[in-house]
Amino acid sequence: MAKSERSLAAAERLVETAERLIGELGLDRASAREISRAAGQKNNYAVQYHFGDFVGLIQAIRARRLPDLERHRAELLAAVRAQGREGDLRALTEVLYLPLIELRGADGERRFARFVLAMLSSPDIERFGEGLVEAMPVGSEVLELIQAARPDLPMALIHERQRLIAILVLTSVFNRRPPYDAPANDGAAIENALAMAAAALAAPVGPSLAAVLG
């Protein structure tokens, strides 16, 4: 194997390992050194060598997964438009989150969804958001449709609600109690989560929030 091929293979192992460990341990506990060790790299600075820094590694994970995610969103959004449901918050919520839930690795695990939940749950998430909007044009289009359906909500509030809703939806995927934890009830659990998500988007703006929004 040529050196360049070895380097590409090592970088791929680092990306796969980082996605898994961040999802399992959280962003704060999955250090670059731990990821390098778990990926079988003897060099503790393998992440820096291949990606520049930890932010570059996170962006590599996104670059690996987001194209498939956005393609699925585009398909669902086309169906929503064909049905004339562009103003239906339930339909738009499904376009946003169902592709993320349904994206599985070769082993059948929802590793990217776990990774996203860990990222959204971290207080340090802002460090890793550069270029994310540009990388998700379909997701951004869905948010614009949500604002058209809820013109009383500024886009900044829509983004904040979506962050909290994503945590809710993904937590419902990975933290279930009987009978929803049974594989046969996976679809029912997801349907319930998406229904709650749509209800959260439709929630009115109370007086305290209205005062903050001006």
Residue for token pair 């360049």: 4
Residue 210 lies in a domain: no
Domain count, the chain: 1
| pLDDT at site 12 | 95
What pLDDT, in 10s, does the model give residues 138-147?
999 999 999 9
Is 61 inside any structural domain? yes
Cα separation, 107 vs 90, whole angstroms: 30
Is residue 48 situated within a structural domain? yes
In the numeric block, which tokens belong to residue 134?
A: 């540009």
CA 88 to chain centre: 22
> pLDDT by residue (tens digit) across 141-169?
999 999 999 999 999 999 999 999 999 99
Tell me if 101 is assigned to some domain: yes
Predicted confidence at residue 151, as pLDDT, reads: 94
Q: Is residue 58 part of a domain?
A: yes
CATH number, domain of 169, equals 1.10.357.10
**Sequence-ordered alpha helix ranges (H) in 83-185:** 89-102, 111-120, 132-135, 137-149, 155-174
Cα 63 to Cα 68, 69, 136, 144, 178: the distances in Å are 10, 10, 10, 23, 36
Give the residue numbers spanning the domain of 70: 3-204
Is residue 55 a part of any domain in this protein? yes
In this prediction, what percent of the chain has a pLDDT beyond 90? 80
* Residue 209 is assigned to a structural domain of this protein: no
